Amino acid sequence: MAKKNKAFKCRLYPSKEQMQLLRKTFGCVSFTYLKDMIPHESA
């Protein structure tokens, strides 16, 4: 029996306060991700 993947689409309508929190959160996440992706220079 083949396994079927299911997906749901939904749209969020955050308030202004929630949107600011989301921007801060994803900004920190992307900064941390990119910082870890850059090779560190040897001292």
User: pLDDT for 9-40, tens place per residue?
Assistant: 999 899 999 999 999 998 888 888 888 888 76
Instruction: Please tell me the predicted confidence (pLDDT) of residue 41.
Output: 65
Residue 6: per-residue pLDDT: 87
CB 24 within 8 A of CB 16: no
Which residue has better confidence, 43 or 5? 5
- Give the residue, 41 or 19, on which the prediction is more confident: 19
Q: Is 35 buried (19+), middle (13-18) or exposed (0-12) by CB count in 10 A? A: exposed
